[in-house]
Structure 1
Amino acid sequence: MTTEVRSLREFKMPDVGEGLTEAEILSWYVKPGDTVTDGQVVCEVETAKAAVELPIPFNGVVEQLFFPEGATVDVGTVIISVAVAGEAAAPAAVPTPAPAAEAPADEAEPERREVLVGYGPRTGGSQRRARRTTTTKTVTASKPAPAAPAAPVAPAPAAPAPVAEVPFGERPLAKPPVRKLAKDLGIDLRAVTPTGPDGVITREDVHAHAAAQAAPAAPAVEVAEVAAVEVPVSAPAAGDVRVPIKGVRKATAQAMVASAFTAPHVTEFVQVDVTRTMKFVRRLKESGELGRDVRVSPLLLVAKALLTAIKRHPEINAQWDEAAQEIVIKGQVNLGIAAATPRGLIVPNIKDAGSRTLSGLAVALGELVETARQGKTSPADMQGGTVTITNVGVFGVDTGTPILNPGEAAILAFGAVRELPWVHKGKVVPRQVTTLALSFDHRLVDGELGSKVLADVAALLEHPKRLITWG
């Protein structure tokens, strides 16, 4: 009778995107004791750029999950161990962050990390900024004199609600939107009482739990002597909700600040009669000539108009190279589309969009939007953009002054389409009108070039047949 000997294999947090050093574990799809196979997705993590599913690179049985959901883990740190068939058993290693100091020259090269998603392996330890923690001050009240009356003491903050005991690796039942809501409100789902069928936690359950936590505590009785009362330096007001700044939202904020204070922005505006464009969109929808399953929208024709204008004025599809002191005119247009997602604003782009037909552009645009809505946009899809469109009109906004996506020379804002009085063929009649706003980097684009591009986009949307003759 033979006994199978198993050894432990460790899976480390891989480099899931260019230049990233950490990722947050959003969800575990396995628990200790589960059998996994090579290529099976075991967890979903969120980086500063996107949410990514991580596959395990070997077969075996899950031995240990080293971090819970919500933990932020450095690249290169062990996150899961798996027992696999082997020659000898080995003890599980305790995860330790990569050392900050460089190894001596006579030591062996650092281990090459497996990269399952992203742009390639990275070597060396990752550096991570220290986390900001809430500090507290300890206030000790001395014993009052016998003749003095007892002084009232402010009530101490209510103790947090106890968390139900749920074994690690087992998850409370809740749909992804409910998990996202609980995460944003800082609520542990294990502490929420479910009311849905089969013990599923609903949005109402989360809101009810949040309201209970926010309710003021009963006033404490006055005491004459208190020792070591901890008072937070910055206590939140009743009803306040604090949302951690991390992941996509943090990266977006940093990028926008850097862009706003690095590139000198200029924004130009123009109102356009898009009545013919709206009729053209309806005709394409009804005829199905771009494909029965292809989604056709005004944004599609705005994108095609911008790409046609760039073809006529390629100098606007450029990048500023500070190190080389050069302007780099890009050979292809990677068209970014700003998309609002539950994790924040992201800007995936359509590679080489300028070479696509109207039908091909419609297919690519539909896939981009659907992937973004599902939260499955990969880091690669958000790299290398050269120009961007932001559709603020879907929110009923007329226009704005958009901030450039870092590294790009121009961004076009497409406002709401409204029926307005307009002079058409010498008469004031109701027409479909929108407002376009083009922001550009004044280091790369002067007023003449920016005006020509914006004027071309306007002319193409006013007379969409020119998309064929100009393109």
Structure 2
Amino acid sequence: MTTMTEASVREFKMPDVGEGLTEAEILKWYVQPGDTVTDGQVVCEVETAKAAVELPIPYDGVVRDLHFPEGTTVDVGTSIIAVDVSGGAAAPAEVPAQAPAEAPAAAGDAEEKKPEGSGRTPVLVGYGVATSSTKRRPRKGPEVVVSQASTVIQPELNGHGPVAAPGTTAEQSRPLAKPPVRKLAKDLGVDLATVTPSGPDGIITREDVHAAVAPPAPEPVTAPAVSVPPAPVATYDTARETRIPVKGVRKATAAAMVGSAFTAPHVTEFVTIDVTRTMKLVEELKRSDEYGLQGLRVNPLLLIAKALLVAIRRNPDINAAWDEANQEIVLKHYVNLGIAAATPRGLIVPNIKDAHAKTLPQLAESLGELVSTAREGKTSPAAMQGGTVTITNVGVFGVDTGTPILNPGESAILAVGAIKLQPWVHKGKVKPRQVTTLALSFDHRLVDGALGSKVLADVAAILEQPKRLISWA
């Protein structure tokens, strides 16, 4: 019968599922102790500072233990689940502590008998036989006076010199102290016989002499017992307030926004434009089979995203980042277009990789996948890394515009306001037109007012005459 050992139990540790993450919250366990798992099977869902992620187990076996309940935040590298990979169902047997290489012998066996005249030091229990005998120069001790009838001297003990055997007559020994200490005691008027030694072998030290002349510590005064009420526990009216712990995506977003707002000098410019033609083009693209958009989500955001990509192509310096450590401006020759998405877990900004190289149908497909994945809370950390420029559509909430804060590591973000029917001067007459306001925030360390204005004006001009987007699709 094979005994199960700890080697058959594998500990699965919380991985770093995103670049630089330090912790994650366990949202849900999909397995329980006793369940059989296979390599690649998802065992739990965790929420990092960036997204909710499902964790697969990397081996086959039987779940022995779940180390943390749902709702617990666990540091990266901490074991969260134990799996028995031996195929057995019994709990692993405890491994006895390793016995020392050589157990100490009994006192009676360890002590060797000292041969006559050998001069060997007795064996100390557990320490073995001394390899050599070190002869010590005896300290000068008091003279020992014994009777001539019976002179018996005990061997040297602890280096203190010969000591008279019981029954002998000896003068009272002097306290052990070095000459400088004796002089100090004499100068301070301290009788060394009254000093308690603390040095090795009962030697009186300078500290002992100083302690002897120090005034005695005052007796502690015991204050009368006073009944102190316990500190009040912070409470609040749950009917009037709800407190939500700041963690996960919301915590990471808050830290990123504070860091961005107080690191990059933000400048925001605004433009109000007539997007009536853009709205008509959206309806035309939905109905037509000519442009390859059948079955894809077509909305104003798609055309605004394409317009921004065209403006970046014309003004590539806007697509950059500020490297504070190396004091460099990093120009990006690709566009990872971020789309700010509001989710139940907080604001996230996944991005479309290499959006600059996508056709209009490809951009529509990528945008649809990004939005649906974000709404389901399944956006991966990789999808939120490496963004270069961002669009935030606050218009879906009926807001005219805003002053968006830059996504960390990016130089520009475009806010799109609500599209509303408003009176507008069109061809010399006031007519009802579809109007919106765009706001472009940029990092003024690397984007000056001229460059920011050119980009915003380009986006506005394209959306006012959107038919040109088809030729660039």
TM above 0.5: yes
Give the aligned partner of residue 316 of structure 1: 318
Map Cα deviations across residues 391-418 of structure 1 (whole Å, 9 max, x no partner). Answer: 0000000100000001100000011100
Task: Check 1:64–1:461 CA distance in 2 against 1; reply closer, same or farther (3 A cut).
Answer: same
Work out the CA distance in 2 between the residues paired with 1:469 and 1:284.
14
**1:222-247 CA distances to partner (integer Å, 9 max, x unpaired)?**
xxxxx855521464564210000000
The offset of 1:22, in angstroms, is: 1.1
Cα distance between partner residues in 1 of 2:452 and 2:321:
15
- Taking the aligned partners of 2:377 and 2:234, their CA distance within structure 1 comes to 37
CA shift for structure 1 position 438: 0.3
Q: Does the 8 Å CA contact 1:267/1:401 hold for their aligned counterparts?
A: yes
Q: Partner residue of 2:35? A: 34
Assess, with a 3 A threshold, how the Cα gap between structure 1 residues 469 and 82 changes in structure 2: closer, same or farther.
closer
For the pair 1:353 / 2:355, whether they are aligned, the reply is yes
Per the alignment, in what secondary structure is the counterpart of residue 453 of structure 1? helix
SS in 2 for 1:69: coil
SS in 1 for 2:407: coil
Deviations 1:87-129 (A, max 9, x none): 9985589xxxxxxxxxxxxxxxxxxxxxxxxxxxxxxxxxxxx
Structure 1 window deviating more from structure 2 (13-22 vs 380-389): it is 13-22
- State the shift of 1:353 in Å: 0.3
Q: Which residue of 1 aligns with 2:327?
A: 325
1:254 partner SS: helix
After superposition, residues 336-347 of structure 1 pair within 5 angstroms as 336-347=338-349
Q: CA deviation at 1:61?
A: 1.2
| Equivalent residue number for residue 393 of structure 1 | 395
Cα displacement (A) at 1:33: 1.1
RMSD in angstroms over aligned alpha carbons? 2.3
- The answer on whether the counterparts of 2:64 and 2:91 sit within 8 Å (CA) in structure 1 is no
Matched, 1:403 2:430: no
Distance in 2, Cα, partners of 1:16 & 1:326: 29
Counterpart for residue 273 of structure 1: 274
User: Residue 325 and residue 29 in structure 1: after superposition, are their counterparts in 2 closer, same or farther (change >3 A)?
Assistant: same
Aligned residue number for residue 246 of structure 1: 247
Partner of 1:120: none
Shift of 1:323: 1.5
> What does residue 14 of structure 2 align with?
13
Q: Which amino acid aligns with 1:353?
A: A
The equivalent residue for 2:45 is: 44
CA separation of 1:328/1:335 partners in 2, compared to 1, >3 Å: closer, same or farther? same
Question: What is the Cα deviation at residue 344 of structure 1?
Answer: 0.3
Amino acid in the other structure paired with 1:19: G
Paired residue for 1:465?
A: 467
Determine the structure 1 residue equivalent to 2:26: 25
Residue-by-residue CA offset, 1:370-405 (whole Å, 9 max, x unaligned): 110111111110000000000000000010000000
Q: Which amino acid aligns with 1:442?
A: H
1:302-326: per-residue Cα shift (whole Å, max 9, x none)?
0000000000000000000112111
Question: What is the alpha-carbon distance in structure 1 between the residues aligned to residue 471 and residue 52 of structure 2?
Answer: 42
Counterparts in 2 of 1:25-424, with a 5 A limit? 25-85=26-86, 90=92, 231-233=232-234, 235-236=236-237, 238-288=239-289, 289-424=291-426
Instruction: Give TM-score, length-normalised by structure 1.
Output: 0.69
Residues 91 and 397 of structure 1: CA distance in aligned 2, closer, same or farther (over 3 Å): farther
TM-score, normalised on structure 2?
A: 0.69
CA–CA distance in 1 between the matches of 2:34 and 2:75?
25
Partner SS state of residue 232, structure 1:
coil
Change (3 A) 1:461 1:92: farther
Amino acid at match of 2:10: R
1: distance between equivalents of 2:412 and 2:244?
31
Question: Cα 1:424–1:378, aligned 2, differ >3 Å: closer, same or farther?
Answer: same
The higher radius of gyration belongs to 2
SS in 2 for 1:284: helix
1:449 aligns with 2:445: no
**SS of the residue 1:259 aligns to:** helix
The CA deviation at 1:50 is 0.8
| Structure 1: stretches of 5+ with no match in the other structure | 94-140, 144-226
Which deviations, in whole Å up to 9, do the C-alpha atoms of 1:352-382 show, x marking residues without a partner? Answer: 1011000100000000001101111111100
What SS is found at the alignment partner of 2:31? coil
Task: Work out the CA distance in 1 between the residues paired with 2:417 and 2:268.
Answer: 14
CA-to-aligned-CA distance 1:53-91 (integer Å, 9 cap, x gap):
000111111111010001111111111111122799855
Q: Aligned equivalents of 2:410 and 2:338: distance in 1?
A: 10
8 Å contact 1:336–1:348 — kept in the other structure? yes
Secondary structure (helix, strand or coil) at the match of 2:283 reads: helix
Matched-pair contact (CA < 8 Å) for 2:9–2:92:
yes
Deviation sequence 1:157-192 (CA, Å, 0-9, x none): xxxxxxxxxxxxxxxxxxxxxxxxxxxxxxxxxxxx
Contact 2:4 2:93 in 1 (8 A): no
How far apart, CA to CA, are the structure 2 residues paired with 1:92 and 1:50?
39
- Deviations for 1:174-211, whole angstroms, at most 9, x for unmatched residues? xxxxxxxxxxxxxxxxxxxxxxxxxxxxxxxxxxxxxx
Contact between 1:4 and 1:85, CA under 8 Å: does it hold in 2? no
Instruction: For 1:363, give the aligned amino acid.
Output: E
* Residue 92 to residue 371, structure 1, CA distance change in 2 (3 Å): farther
Partner-residue secondary structure (3-state), 1:400: coil
Q: CA shift at 1:290, angstroms? A: 3.0
Looking at structure 2, the residues matched to 330 and 91 of structure 1 have their Cα atoms a distance apart, in angstroms, of: 58
Q: 2:428 aligned to 419, 426, 429, which one?
A: 426
> In structure 2, the residue corresponding to 1:85 is in which secondary structure?
coil
Q: Compute the displacement of 1:292 (Å).
A: 2.5
Give ranges in structure 2 of 5+ residues lacking alignment: 96-224
The worse-fitting range, judged by mean Cα deviation, of 19-28 and 84-93 is 84-93
SS at match of 1:231: coil
